[in-house]
């Protein structure tokens, strides 16, 4: 088994679980010999535990009544695991949770594995996480024989279920019968149609797959007690007959419902991408570039050799706001705000203009080609330092050059006189301290250039934190996904505060540390919201 976390780590884990809207649901029926230990160990890992007593007739109810830190849901008569899960999920949604980790009350699952589900949830938000079982001998590491001690009936049922799941969805999972899972409650489908017995867990997987929910497998330990100690409610004859009928129905629905849904999602993914591309090209070649050409001709006709280009920045600003705020990117839910120190993690939608009332060096985490559009919605008075491919781009390179965006290949020292002139004219300078787009949206190493530039220009640092573009348009991909995008502006960091951090290297390390905390808080809030 994996090492037990320290109390400090457990308290931190509990905080993160709550911030991300994750609870634990434990369905139980006549598990009086194990349920007390399971609940106690689960409470050590998570503060938000919902136990569904499915009409137990043994000591289960009495044992559960002794726990004060749980939410107890009681079914008056035994209705089956499917009914218990449904009751637990509905209670979790009533309480405002976004996710529910389910584990069994018979002691087969180790609650300490909750940390593995949390990590998987952070890496794959809104996914259904499936705990693929590995057997454990109770004393040492994983057994070499996978699922050693598993009853033959259970092993056959799992293989049987895996095969039909592949037939019905076209996806392969190694363990479709495991009860140790993390469900995204906001993306549960077919809950009202769920059957009452344990095959309901297969139905949940099938409906999730049909609706495009990502299914992620992680390895988890499982303990099978000696045969004489097992509590099993599996009835081979009746249960296999019912499962066969269910699979027949699901195979029919896979043809008339599941397959059309899969095709529709595939088509819509490319429709969104083509729509966004045509939207961009129309704006660029039909609206912006002709407008720029006409205005430049008029100004040159008037004899202005080096015309002030503030009009161009206002044009880019208004175009960016139009794209981001009027659904120019279909399937994207965009929002923005200002984070004040006194308001914690709750962002305010007002007060943006006060943060751009003077020039600053703007820094932001870098995720996607869409980042510039997100940053440009705040103010027209901002200049970006770009890469060569942006500077030389055939579609909008001319626009970039006339807007006085500069390529970083020239070097900050060489660019300093030009940047100082821009600051004197009231412009902020935007720099990506990571230097390149993140592959996994996590915060990469910060370079020192932005902090050196702030010192040379004598201006504050203005941090922006961005969530979502790297998930909407992933690095090295060309199709758009659906999802939320949010950008928030933090309070400026003064030169005095920067100098107190140390030299430029120390400043980069400290600001990266702050960004990692800030991004984690923003991700927890967004990924833990109920849609």
Residue-wise DSSP of 483-517: EEEEEEEPPPB-HHHHHHH-SHHHHHHHHHHHHHH
Lowest-pLDDT choice from 52-61, 76-85, 293-302: 293-302
Q: What is the pLDDT of residues 198-216, one digit of tens each?
A: 678 889 999 999 999 999 9
Q: Is the pLDDT of residue 148 over 70?
A: no
* Separation between Cα atoms, residue 13 and residue 46, nearest integer Å: 8
On the CB side of 149, how many CA atoms lie within 13 Å of its CA?
A: 20
Q: What is the pLDDT of residue 145?
A: 37
Residue of 188 and 100 predicted with greater confidence: 100
* Separation between Cα atoms, residue 83 and residue 78, nearest integer Å: 9
Vertex 276, ends 272 and 277: CA angle to 5°?
A: 115
Q: What is the pLDDT of residue 201?
A: 87
For all residues of the chain together, what is the average pLDDT? 85
Q: What is the mean pLDDT of residues 327-332?
A: 82
Phi, psi of 484 (to 5 degrees): -85, 150
The whole-model pTM stands at 0.84
* Separation between Cα atoms, residue 35 and residue 12, nearest integer Å: 25
* Separation between Cα atoms, residue 74 and residue 65, nearest integer Å: 11
Helical residues (DSSP H) of 95-151, grouped into ranges: 114-123
Residue of 88 and 347 predicted with greater confidence: 88
Q: How far is CA 242 from CA 159, 317, 500, in A?
A: 16, 61, 69
Among residues 362, 374, 387, the alpha carbon closest in space to that of 472 is found at 374
* Residue 48 and residue 97 in contact, taking contact as beta carbons nearer than 8 Å: yes
> Tokens representing 108?
């087969």
Q: 487 has which bridge partners?
A: 336, 466
Sheet holding 483-489, edge to edge: 332-338, 483-489, 461-467, 361-364, 428-431, 382-386, 406-407
Confidence of residue 345 (pLDDT cuts 50, 70, 90): very low
* Separation between Cα atoms, residue 335 and residue 329, nearest integer Å: 13
Q: What is the pLDDT of residue 217?
A: 96
Core vs surface per residue 243-257: b (16+ CB within 10 A) or e: beebbeebeebbeee
Residue of 310 and 79 predicted with greater confidence: 79
Q: What is the pLDDT of residue 6?
A: 57
Confidence of residue 294 (pLDDT cuts 50, 70, 90): confident
Element (H, E) at 40: helix 35-43
Q: What is the mean pLDDT of residues 169-176?
A: 91
Residue of 312 and 74 predicted with greater confidence: 74
Q: What is the pLDDT of residues 112-143, one digit of tens each?
A: 999 999 999 999 999 999 999 875 444 433 33
Residue percentage of the chain with pLDDT more than 90? 54
Q: What is the pLDDT of residues 240-284, one digit of tens each?
A: 677 778 888 889 999 999 999 999 999 998 998 898 888 888 877
Helix, strand, or coil (residue 208)? helix
Q: How far is CA 402 from CA 214, 296, 451, 517, 526, in A?
A: 44, 10, 26, 37, 37
């Amino acid at each position: 088994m994996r090492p037990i976390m320290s109390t400090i780590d457990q308290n931190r884990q509990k905080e993160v679980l709550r911030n991300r809207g994750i609870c634990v649901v434990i369905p139980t029926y006549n598990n009086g010999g194990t349920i007390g230990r399971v609940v106690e160990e689960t409470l050590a890992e998570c503060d938000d535990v919902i136990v569904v007593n499915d009409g137990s007739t043994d000591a289960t109810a009495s044992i559960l009544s002794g726990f004060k830190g749980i939410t107890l849901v009681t079914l008056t008569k035994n209705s089956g695991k499917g009914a218990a899960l449904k009751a637990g999920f509905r209670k979790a949604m009533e309480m405002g949770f976004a996710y529910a980790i389910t584990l069994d009350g018979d002691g087969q699952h180790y609650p300490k594995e909750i940390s593995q589900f949390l990590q998987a949830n952070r890496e794959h938000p809104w996914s259904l996480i499936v705990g693929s079982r590995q057997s454990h001998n109770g004393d040492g590491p994983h057994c070499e024989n996978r699922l050693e001690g598993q009853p033959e009936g259970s092993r056959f049922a799992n293989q049987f279920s895996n095969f039909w799941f592949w037939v019905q969805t076209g996806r392969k999972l190694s363990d479709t019968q495991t009860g140790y899972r993390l469900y995204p409650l906001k993306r549960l489908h077919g809950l009202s149609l769920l059957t009452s017995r344990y095959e309901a867990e297969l139905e949940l997987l099938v409906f999730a797959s049909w609706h495009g929910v990502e299914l992620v497998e992680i390895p988890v330990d499982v303990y099978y007690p000696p045969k004489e100690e097992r509590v099993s409610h599996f009835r081979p004859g009746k249960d296999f007959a019912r499962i066969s009928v269910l699979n027949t129905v699901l195979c029919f629905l896979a043809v008339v419902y599941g397959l059309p849904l899969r095709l529709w999602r595939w088509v819509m993914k490319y429709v969104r991408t083509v729509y966004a591309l045509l939207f961009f090209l129309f704006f660029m070649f039909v609206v912006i570039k002709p407008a720029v050409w006409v205005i430049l001709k008029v100004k040159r006709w008037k004899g202005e050799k080096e015309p002030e280009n503030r009009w161009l920045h206002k044009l880019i600003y208004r175009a960016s706001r139009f794209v981001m705020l009027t659904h120019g990117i279909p399937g994207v839910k965009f929002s923005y705000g200002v984070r004040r120190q006194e308001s914690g993690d709750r962002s305010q939608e007002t007060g943006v203009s006060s943060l751009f009332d003077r020039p600053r060096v703007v820094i932001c985490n870098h995720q996607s080609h869409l980042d510039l559009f997100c940053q440009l919605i705040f103010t027209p008075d901002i200049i970006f330092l770009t890469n060569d491919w942006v500077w030389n781009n055939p579609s909008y390179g001319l626009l970039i050059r006339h807007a006085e965006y500069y390529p970083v290949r020239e070097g900050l020292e060489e660019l300093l006189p030009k940047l100082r002139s821009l600051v004197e004219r009231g412009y902020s300078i935007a720099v990506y301290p990571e230097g390149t787009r993140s592959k996994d949206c996590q915060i990469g190493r910060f370079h020192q250039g932005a902090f050196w530039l702030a010192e040379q220009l004598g201006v504050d640092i203005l941090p922006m934190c961005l969530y979502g573009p790297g998930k909407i348009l992933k690095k090295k991909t060309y199709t758009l996904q659906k999802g939320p995008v949010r950008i928030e502006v933090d309070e400026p960091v003064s030169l005095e505060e920067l100098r107190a951090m140390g030299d430029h290297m120390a400043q980069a390390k400290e600001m990266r540390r702050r960004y990692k905390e800030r991004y984690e808080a923003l991700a927890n809030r967004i990924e833990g919201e109920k849609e």
